[in-house]
Amino acid sequence: MRRLVSDRINSMKGLSTQAPEGCFVSFVNIEQTGMNSEAFQQHLLDKAKVLVVPGLSRWFGPGAEGYVRLSFATSEQVLTEALNRIEESL
């Protein structure tokens, strides 16, 4: 699942991530989209019906802006659908 997420995210325009080594979340860099973390989170919710956690300093510390947290603790089928929706919304 880690490789699926990182490969798909890295193939999407404006997004990048590294495959995490020991957890089930990916911290996705969204800086190239031109949106801040909260705006991107709302965009995905409205357009893709996918919920991510915005990278806010109050939750993740300094430097978290420009990222969103994407959990992949689900089935491959659900994850693939979510990634398809994210890609279509960009």
Kindly list the domain boundaries of the chain, sorted by start residue: 2-85
Residue 27, pLDDT score = 95
Q: What is the fold of 2-85?
A: Aspartate Aminotransferase, domain 1 (3.90.1150)
Distance, first Cα to last Cα, the chain:
22
The confidence score (pLDDT) of residue 28 equals 98
Query: Is 22 or 66 the better-scoring residue by pLDDT?
Result: 66
pLDDT for 1 equals 87
Q: Are 26 and 5 in contact, with CB atoms under 8 Å apart? A: yes
Q: Provide φ and ψ at 17, rounded to 5°.
A: -160, 165
Packed helices 2-10 and 76-89: angle between N→C axes, nearest 10 degrees: 10
What is this structure's pTM? 0.92
pLDDT digits (tens, 9 = 90+) for 2-46: 899 999 999 999 999 998 888 999 999 999 999 999 999 999 999
Cβ atoms within 10 Å of 62's Cβ, excluding its own: 6
